[in-house]
Amino acid sequence: MKLPKPARPRVPARPRIRRVSLAGQLLGLQAVIVLLVVLGVTPVTLVQNDVAFRRTESRRVLATAETVAGTRVLQTGLASGTDAGVAGEAERSRASSGSSYVLVTDAAGTVVHSSDPADIGRSVTRPGAGRSWVGVVTRDGGRAVEARAPVQAVRSGDGVGIGDVVGYVLVGRDYPTTWERLGATAPTLVIYVLVGSLVGLGGSLLLSRRIKRQTLGLEPEEIAGLVEHREAMLHGLREGVVGVDTAGRVTLVNDEAVRLLGLPTEVVGRPVQELALPDSLTGVLGGRAGADDLAVAAGGRVLVLNQMPVVNQGTRIGWVTTVRDRTELVDLNRQLDVWRGPPTRCARRRTSSATACTPSPG
């Protein structure tokens, strides 16, 4: 009993990897470009915000410091050496101006009032004694835009003359942290990203449609496959193929054409006139003379040429000439012609020695 052959296990087919279309590739490239632009713009935006913050807050804190320093409460209180009303006035000014802190010092720079009790009694020195000053200082490990304005006495007494500096008012605004500045710039960056993405999406779609229209709707990998297939087919032909553009330069040539015509290996891009071919071949390949089963002798070979124009959208862009070697066929025809010579007639003579054949006269 013959046992049936066991069935071969079926190998599951490998899933085909779906390639990304040209539009998808362009969109991905646009997304990468937008991301890189955003990453490059973010530090610039932070620096611009830093400069704008310093410029804006410098004017604001200086105006606040000069306003507080010009109040009668501070002028009389610091001149008399009493703190009556100084703290209240300083806190009201800080709350109304939105400043981070307000310090009041005496003429020697010792803090007599601060929103932070730890600052009281601490000596504060700033450049430009006796006049207003604004700049960036380091405070509690962070930066702040700070302004200082002198407090001048409005009454004389106790050794103090009118106009003498009896203290200073320091008003500061802390710099926002990096995350706070990023949060402030986030809406602008989001708008940039959205606008850039929309522009990139539209540009990618338009560009991909234009490219596909020019490539007959083929994707890049399909074009690469066609080129490889064409190269394999072109160089596998037993006939020579030579392509020439309208300027007379060689655009393509296969191995058989190089062999039959004796062309150099690096021939693409060179004018036909520089190939040292016979005039008959130069004229045909250059497009000056057409060819339809035209037999040409070259290099000891008999070559048959056929030529047809290459037209793209109604415009002639060159010629393609095929070259066939008919040397063996011509030699075979010659041999047949020899064997098919004048008809012979054998005159058989019965002799005792041999039978002689002589060609008939007719």
Q: Mean pLDDT: which of 54-68, 87-101, 224-238, 327-341 is highest?
A: 54-68
With residue 172 as reference, give the H or E element that holds it: strand 165-174
Share of the chain above pLDDT 70, in %: 81
CA distances, 342 to each of 38, 81, 218, 331, 332 (Å): 94, 149, 64, 19, 18
For residue 331, the model assigns a pLDDT of 65
Residue 137 has pLDDT above 60, yes or no: yes
With residue 165 as reference, give the H or E element that holds it: strand 165-174
Residue 361 has pLDDT above 70, yes or no: no
For residue 345, the model assigns a pLDDT of 42
Q: What is the mean pLDDT of residues 80-99?
A: 80
Q: Mean pLDDT: which of 93-97, 167-171, 310-314, 352-356 is highest?
A: 167-171
Q: How confident is the model at residue 154 (pLDDT cuts 50, 70, 90)?
A: confident
Q: What is the mean pLDDT of residues 270-281?
A: 84
pLDDT, greater one: 309 or 13: 309
CB atoms within 10 A of CB 240: 22
Q: Are 192 and 38 in contact (CB under 8 A)?
A: yes
Q: Can you spell out the DSSP letters for 301-345?
A: EEEEEEEEEEEETTEEEEEEEEEEE-HHHHHHHHHHHHHT-SPP-
pLDDT, greater one: 206 or 171: 171
Average pLDDT, the chain: 77
Sheet containing 142-152, strands listed edge to edge, beginning at the edge strand earlier in sequence = 111-114, 101-106, 165-174, 142-152, 133-139
Residue 133 has pLDDT above 70, yes or no: yes
Q: What is the pTM of this model?
A: 0.50
Q: How confident is the model at residue 59 (pLDDT cuts 50, 70, 90)?
A: very high
- The tokens for 194 are 């959205």
For residue 75, the model assigns a pLDDT of 82
Query: Could you report the per-residue pLDDT of 287-300, keeping only the tens digit for each?
Result: 776 677 788 777 77
Q: Can you spell out the DSSP letters for 200-240?
A: HHHHHHHHHHHHHHHTTT--HHHHHHHHHHHHHHHHH-SSE
Min mean pLDDT across 126-130, 162-166, 264-268 is at: 126-130
Domains and CATH numbers, the chain: 23-180 (3.30.450.20), 232-339 (3.30.450.20)
Residue 90 has pLDDT above 70, yes or no: yes
Q: Mean pLDDT: which of 81-85, 147-151, 182-186, 204-208 is highest?
A: 147-151
234 pairs with which residues across the strands?
A: none
Please give the torsion angle defined by the CA atoms of residues 96, 98, 100 and 106, in that order, rounded to the nearest 10 degrees: -30
Q: Mean pLDDT: which of 121-125, 148-152, 179-183, 352-356 is highest?
A: 148-152
Q: What is the mean pLDDT of residues 178-194?
A: 79
Cα atoms in the 13 Å half-sphere on the side-chain side of 102: 27
Please name the residues in contact with 360: beta carbons below 8 A apart, sequence gap of 6 or more.
343, 344, 345
Q: Mean pLDDT: which of 93-102, 182-191, 277-286 is highest?
A: 93-102
Q: How confident is the model at residue 159 (pLDDT cuts 50, 70, 90)?
A: low
For residue 145, the model assigns a pLDDT of 92
For residue 127, the model assigns a pLDDT of 67
Q: What is the mean pLDDT of residues 155-173?
A: 81
